[in-house]
Amino acid sequence: MKIFLDTADTNLIEKHYATGLIDGITTNPTLIKKSGRDPEDVYKQLIDLGIPDISMEVVGTQEQMLWEGRRLANKFGKNATIKVPCTPDGLDVCRQLSRSLVKVNVTLIFSASQAILAAKAGAKYVSPFVGRVDDNSFGGLCLVKEIASIFTKQNVFETEILAASIRGVRQVGRAFEYGAHICTIPPTIFDKMYNHILTEKGLEIFEKDFIASHENY
Ligand code: E4P
């Protein structure tokens, strides 16, 4: 059960990685653009922080994605996971990189059939987009459940389900319950995972009672 952060904000990543509860990072071109930085500066900084698994997305034609994926994998080594879209070109790149033992995250997965093809192409991770499926009036978490059920029944052990596009804390628990191996979440959602009103209230009472009981002696 792993938690990845879905962001390219290295300040936030550094702060949250220090909790010891974060296992990796996923980025995408939108998150990199939001960071306002050169993608490779971001990746380099994350490697220096010791992040063991960083998804680096490639785009373009089959040739461009393959060339860029190989270059990034050579440059950043075992910490690099190359992220490709679930298209015929993307899956061909996945197949070729996986054969050379490069980890591949197949992204933009919206159906079980896409996850099946990605697994057959040797993907290390398949990324169903829970939130974006929900946005389109289908069940994002049901998709996670369906993929997990297929992978279990078909003894697919080499490909892990990385639940992506997570929009709320409740989805994290549900995604793991339904068989996701990893959830990638924005830092704001990670922060909210700590919270519960009854923890706050309970702690308030325990602290008051602690002080009161020590005042008596
Ligand atoms: C996954 O790897 C993507 O980066 C991400 O989860 C997309 O999330 P969004 O739908 O909130 O953009």
pLDDT tens, 55-112?
A: 999 999 999 999 999 999 999 999 999 999 999 999 999 999 999 999 999 999 999 9
Nearest CA to ligand 1 atom 9: 165
Positions marked catalytic: 83
**167-171 contact pairs (CB < 8 A, 24+):** 167/130, 167/131, 167/134, 169/193, 169/195, 171/130, 171/131, 171/140, 171/141
Q: What is the CA(9)–ligand 1 centre distance, in A?
A: 14
User: For the whole model, what pTM was predicted?
Assistant: 0.96
